Structure 1
Amino acid sequence: MQLYNKLSAEERRVLIRETGKERFTISFYQYHHINDPQFLRDHLFLNWNAMDVLGRIYVAPEGINAQLSIGADHFELFKTFLDSIPFLKHVRINIAREHDNESFLKLKIKVRHKIVADGLEDATFDVTAIGVHVDAITFNALIEDPDTVLVDMRNHYESEIGHFKNAWTPDVDTFRDSLDYIEEELQNHKRDKKLVMYCTGGIRCEKASAYYKHKGFKNVYQLEGGIIEYDRQVTEQGLENKFKGKNFVFDQRLSEKIGEEIIANCHQCGTPCDTHINCANDGCHLLFIQCESCKVDYKNCCSKECTDIIQLTFEEQKALRAGRFSSHHIFKKGRSEKLAFKKVPNDLEQ
Structure 2
Amino acid sequence: MQLYNKLSAEERAKLIDEAGKERLTISFYKYHHIKNPQVFRDHLFLEWDKLDVLGRIYVSDEGINAQLSVPAEKFNQFKIHLDSISFLENVRLNIAVEQDNKSFLKLKVKVRDKIVADGLNDDTFDVTDIGVHLKAKEFNEMLADPNTVCVDMRNHYESEIGHFDGAVTPDVDTFRDSLDIIEEDLKDNKEDKNLLMYCTGGIRCEKASAYYKHKGFKNVFQLEGGIINYVRQVNAEGLENKFVGKNFVFDHRRAERISDDVVSNCHQCGEPCDEHVNCENEACHLLFIQCKSCQEKMDTCCSIECKEINALPFEKQKALRKGTHNSNKIFKKGRSEVLKFKK
Q: TM-score, normalization: structure 1? A: 0.95
Counterpart of 2:68 in 1: which secondary structure?
Answer: strand
Distance change >3 Å, CA 246–CA 334, structure 1 → 2: farther
How far apart, CA to CA, are the structure 2 residues paired with 1:319 and 1:41?
Answer: 37
How far apart, CA to CA, are the structure 2 residues paired with 1:207 and 1:129?
Answer: 9
Aligned to 1:191: 191
Aligned to 1:174: 174
Map Cα deviations across residues 136-189 of structure 1 (whole Å, 9 max, x no partner): 000001111011110000000100000001100011100011112211111111
Does the 8 A contact of 1:329 with 1:336 survive in 2? no
How far apart, CA to CA, are the structure 2 residues paired with 1:323 and 1:45?
Answer: 33
Does the 8 A contact of 1:142 with 1:148 survive in 2? yes
Instruction: Give the letter aligned to residue 156 of structure 1.
Output: H
Of the structure 1 ranges 310-319 and 101-110, higher mean CA displacement relative to structure 2 is found in 310-319
How far apart, CA to CA, are the structure 2 residues paired with 1:328 and 1:62?
Answer: 23
Aligned to 2:84: 84
Does the 8 A contact of 2:56 with 2:109 survive in 1? yes
How far apart, CA to CA, are the structure 2 residues paired with 1:31 and 1:64?
Answer: 7
Aligned to 2:119: 119
Does the 8 A contact of 2:285 with 2:332 survive in 1? no
How far apart, CA to CA, are the structure 2 residues paired with 1:319 and 1:280?
Answer: 16
Query: Does 2:140 match 1:140?
Result: yes
Does the 8 A contact of 1:135 with 1:224 survive in 2? yes
Q: CA deviation at 1:125?
A: 2.0
Counterpart of 1:67 in 2: which secondary structure?
Answer: strand
Instruction: Give the letter aligned to residue 337 of structure 2.
Output: E
How far apart, CA to CA, are the structure 2 residues paired with 1:33 and 1:148?
Answer: 33
How far apart, CA to CA, are the structure 2 residues paired with 1:84 and 1:330?
Answer: 33
Instruction: Give the letter aligned to residue 103 of structure 2.
Output: S
Counterpart of 1:123 in 2: which secondary structure?
Answer: helix
How far apart, CA to CA, are the structure 2 residues paired with 1:280 and 1:65?
Answer: 29
Q: CA deviation at 1:126?
A: 2.6
User: Where do 1:208-287 residues align within 5 Å?
Assistant: 208-287=208-287
Instruction: Give the letter aligned to residue 300 of structure 1.
Output: T
Instruction: Give the letter aligned to residue 11 of structure 1.
Output: E
User: CA RMSD, aligned part only?
Assistant: 1.4
Of the structure 1 ranges 201-210 and 119-128, higher mean CA displacement relative to structure 2 is found in 119-128
Q: CA deviation at 1:326?
A: 5.9
Q: Percent identity?
A: 70
Query: Does 2:193 match 1:202?
Result: no
How far apart, CA to CA, are the structure 2 residues paired with 1:45 and 1:144?
Answer: 44
Structure 2 segments unaligned to the other structure (5+ residues): none
Structure 1 segments unaligned to the other structure (5+ residues): 344-350
Aligned to 1:37: 37
Q: TM-score, normalization: structure 2? A: 0.97
Alignment length (residue pairs):
343
Does the 8 A contact of 1:334 with 1:342 survive in 2? no
